[in-house]
Structure 1
Amino acid sequence: MNRFSIFIFFIAILALVSSACSPSKNIGTQGADTYSENIAQNRITYTDSLESVMDGSEVNTSIRPNPETPVVNPNLNTQYDINEPLDEFLEKVSERNAESNTYQGFTVQVYTGSSREKANEAKNMVYNLMPDASPTISFDPPNYKVKVGEFTDRLEAQPTYTTLKGNFPVVLIVPERFNVTKED
């Protein structure tokens, strides 16, 4: 009987604690909780050629404004304008890429390890699976890497990856820089 009264006491304490922790007021979105703001002054407005037709005024048919041309609000002060620094940065990147004669792309890596024999086996296996492919072996001490293809983006590398992934334990699409070859 003593255990039963202790059990009932703990249940009562638990009920009191849980009722004290629950919120006592329901929070709604009515009354003083509403919010409104007029941001019409910051919106981009578009010229509309149909506007003049609708109010009956005469329209110059030789010059029609494009309804998709934005009219920039001159009163809008942009404190964090990054156009000029971004243009300068992109120009520097373009100059660096032109000097280095390389481009950023992707390749499919099918083997990485310290064994040259296994690298050659992986290369031969790629030739058997994809006769048109040209796998290459590169040595980055202490590892040999077998890579297949030069792709400009991951999506272009995906079919090669899908073909090879079932035949090798680890197949990865990895980023790599390739030399630009000039065609005559």
Structure 2
Amino acid sequence: MKNKLLPDADRIKMNVSMKNVLELISVFTIILMSSCAAMSQKHKDNSVTYYEDLSTARPAYINPDTLTNSNQAPKKTAVTTFSYDDNKRVAARIDSLTEMNRRIATVQGFRILVYTGSSSDESQRIKQQVYTFDSQLNVYTQYKQPSFRVKVGDFPDRVAASYILNDLKRSFPNAMIVPDQINLVR
């Protein structure tokens, strides 16, 4: 079996001739479709309207008063009113929810961690230093073995904590915001 390959010139001629055939077919198709569209517009008559009577296919409504052959007024249905008062039940439910919410003392929030170390004396000194910085801040000392932690504030979100953090960074460069259970302010 000999493998006959076409020379490059013959291959190029073949590709060009196939391309020409495809272009000719597409041009012929476009001309054919446009002529059909033009013919359909010529034969279209807009003056004819279509009408069909569908009354035989519609369901008929039968008035129940005509079946009994009586011209009585329709019966009025009695309106039932409930004497049960929902307001008392709703008020009792709101009171119980209020009481449950009063029992909740802490929520998830943020505090600023100012000190972490093994010295109790150092944590007390840092706590006093924070009080001298701002006496309105709540300062908490926490012992988690093996270290003491000093945390500042009860912030509901990180943005509120970041304002105080910027001020505390001058005195405590290692201060950072940490998630923690915070006390609810009532």
TM-score by length of 2: 0.42
TM-score by length of 1: 0.42
Whose radius of gyration is greater, 1 or 2?
A: 2
